[in-house]
């Protein structure tokens, strides 16, 4: 690379895009984020960030003091049946286990705003209302990558040429659509309600309940808010008249805390999305001068709660394996291959584990299946299980 400043265009300003842009700018790249939205991200939802995600946030410059002011530290407690009876409880008196299941809960808007602020402070330019419509991948050491996007002001189509493009435009990625047209999101068979409810009670731990074709989870995201989700089997694109009444009916007869939370939900703050995933993901995360990150590359089922964390890990890896070495003169193609080799197997692994958890958890049908599953899981030594599940959360930014 020459002594000229390297340039990067990041498509999408969600968690993955803002974090990736921060990593690039900190390594000295002139970085622009093109974000099609003009306002804040969706209202009314929380996000659970496990330990590896917190480590990645720290590595990107959001220290523990800041994170403590943005969210709430809590722990996973395991799984219960519809009546709240334990199926698989995670012991909270073993330090090693407690450490593995510690989670930070955030109001999604607060985390997003902090990431946007961190990116701007690092020198990133964020262009809101800029929808990317096409791109060419270029070639490392050769042609630069080009991105076409609609100017928010005049609606005119503009072109940005850069040394690197980051595809961070989420589940329905336009970048992926151009470079990998054969890889499309698959409907999971489930839809998910999500809401924040005002609450100042003391217990903010993550409680998860499994029932026939459904899962309900609740955790604290601030001193005054609980976040809940209700994940249920449903036909794709189902149109429900009264969302809150339908959620209430679907979880009717479940444990009192589940029923109570739905009852206390402001209908204006209830959201529902059909849940899609990318199955096997992409054949490579690096093509030409483009790297793919976050949901655009590897959207997994939400049952592992690793979506945001793996997007944040991608950003740290991008900084360490591509942005910094290439700025110091390393070969870009080789650096991008290293990124792919580091990230693809790890994300494939998470997607596989998430699919397995869905199969034995939220997707499992009713009747004998529930009682057999519950009886089997009640025999599993939970300490061993909690630690086995900690492979993903044990990620350390220093491994790059």
Ligand X SMILES: Cc1cc2nc3c(=O)[nH]c(=O)nc-3n(C[C@H](O)[C@H](O)[C@H](O)COP(=O)(O)OP(=O)(O)OC[C@H]3O[C@@H](n4cnc5c(N)ncnc54)[C@H](O)[C@@H]3O)c2cc1C
Residues contributing to the site for ligand X (CB under 6 A): 11-17, 34-37, 47-49, 131-132, 168-171, 174, 192, 194, 229, 273, 275, 294-296, 302, 305-309, 311
Residue 16: CB minimum distance to ligand X, A? 3
377's enclosing H/E stretch is: helix 368-378
Distances (CA, A) of 56 to 146, 344, 393, 399: 29, 17, 11, 12
Spatial distance between the Cα atoms of 224 and 9, rounded to a whole number of angstroms? 38
Q: C-alpha distances in angstroms, 335 versus 22, 29, 143, 290, 314?
A: 18, 15, 17, 12, 14
DSSP string covering 199-239: ---S---EEEEEETTEEEEEEEEETTEEEEEEEEE--TT--
Q: Residue 374: helix, strand or coil by DSSP?
A: helix
Of 46, 22, 21, nearest to 261 by C-alpha is 46
Up-side HSE of residue 256: CA atoms within 13 Å toward CB?
A: 0
Nearer to ligand X, 302 or 319 (CB): 302
Q: How far is the CB of 301 from ligand X (least distance, A)?
A: 8
| Residue corresponding to tokens 């842009």 | 21
CB of 192 to ligand X, least distance (A): 4
Minimum CB distance to ligand X, residue 368 (Å): 28
Nearest approach, Cβ of 367 to ligand X (angstroms)? 26
What is the H or E stretch that residue 79 is in? strand 71-80
Can you state the angle between helices 307-318 and 15-26, rounded to 10 degrees? 20
The minimum distance between CB 375 and ligand X, in angstroms, equals 28
Q: Residue 330 Cβ, how far from ligand X at the closest point, in Å? A: 26
Contact 210, 234 (CB under 8 A): no
SS3 392: coil
Specify the residue, 49 or 316, whose C-beta has the smaller distance to ligand X.
Answer: 49
Q: Give the residue with the Cβ less far from ligand X, 7 or 173.
A: 173
Based on CB atoms, which residue is closest to ligand X, 40 or 203? Answer: 40
DSSP string, 104-152: EEEEHHHHHHHHHHHHHHTT-EEEET-EEEEEE---TTSSPEEEEEE-T
By beta-carbon proximity to ligand X, the closer residue of 13 and 138 is 13
CB of 183 to ligand X, least distance (A): 15
Would you say 16 or 324 has its CB closer to ligand X?
16
Task: Please say which residue, 140 or 278, places its beta carbon nearer to ligand X.
Answer: 278
Instruction: Answer whether 194's CB lies under 8 Å from 44's CB.
Output: yes
User: Cβ of residue 133: shortest distance to ligand X, in angstroms?
Assistant: 7
Contact 272, 243 (CB under 8 A): yes
Q: Please, which residue, 192 or 370, has the CB nearer to ligand X? A: 192
Angle between helices 256-263 and 243-250 (to 10 degrees): 170
Nearest to 227 by CA among 111, 332, 319, 66: 111
Q: Which of 282, 278, 305, 303 is nearest to 292 (CA)?
A: 282
In angstroms, what is the minimal distance from the CB of 309 to ligand X?
5
- CB nearer to ligand X: pick between 194 and 343: 194
- Specify the residue, 140 or 218, whose C-beta has the smaller distance to ligand X: 218
Q: State CA 394 to chain mean position distance.
A: 17
């Amino acid at each position: 690379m020459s002594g000229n400043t390297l340039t990067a265009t990041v498509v999408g300003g969600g968690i993955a895009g803002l974090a990736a842009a921060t990593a690039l700018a900190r390594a000295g790249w002139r970085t622009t984020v093109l974000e099609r939205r003009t306002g804040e991200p969706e209202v009314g939802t929380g996000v659970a960030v496990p330990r590896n995600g917190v480590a990645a946030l720290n590595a990107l410059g959001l220290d523990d003091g800041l994170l403590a002011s943005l969210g709430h530290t809590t722990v996973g407690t395991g799984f219960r049946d519809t009546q709240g009876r334990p199926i698989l409880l995670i012991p909270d008196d073993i330090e090693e286990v407690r450490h593995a299941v510690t989670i930070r809960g955030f109001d999604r808007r607060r985390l997003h705003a902090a990431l946007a602020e961190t990116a701007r402070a690092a020198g990133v330019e964020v262009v809101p209302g800029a929808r990317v419509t096409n791109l060419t991948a270029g070639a490392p050491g050769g042609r630069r990558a080009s991105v076409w996007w609609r100017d928010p002001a005049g609606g005119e189509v503009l072109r940005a040429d850069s040394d690197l493009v980051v595809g961070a435009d989420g589940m329905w990625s336009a970048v992926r659509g151009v470079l990998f047209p054969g890889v499309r999101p698959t409907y999971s068979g489930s839809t998910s309600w999500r809401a924040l409810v005002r609450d100042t009670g003391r217990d903010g731990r993550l409680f998860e309940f499994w029932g026939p074709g459904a899962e309900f989870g609740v955790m604290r995201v601030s001193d005054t808010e609980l976040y809940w989700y209700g994940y249920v089997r449903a036909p794709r694109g189902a149109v429900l008249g009264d969302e809150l009444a339908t959620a209430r009916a679907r979880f009717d007869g479940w444990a009192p805390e589940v029923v109570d939370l739905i009852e206390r939900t402001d209908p204006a703050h209830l959201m529902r999305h059909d849940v899609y995933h990318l199955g096997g993901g992409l054949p490579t995360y690096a093509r030409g001068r483009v790297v793919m990150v976050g949901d655009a590359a590897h959207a997994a089922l939400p049952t592992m709660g690793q979506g945001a964390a793996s997007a944040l890990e991608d950003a740290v890896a991008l900084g360490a394996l591509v942005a910094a070495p290439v700025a110091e003169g390393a070969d870009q193609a080789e650096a991008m291959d290293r990124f792919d080799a580091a990230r693809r197997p790890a994300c494939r692994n998470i997607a596989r584990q998430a699919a397995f958890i869905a199969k034995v958890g939220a997707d499992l049908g009713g009747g004998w299946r529930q009682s057999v599953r519950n009886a089997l899981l009640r025999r599993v030594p939970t300490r061993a299980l909690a630690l086995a599940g900690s492979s993903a959360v044990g990620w350390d930014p220093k491994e790059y």
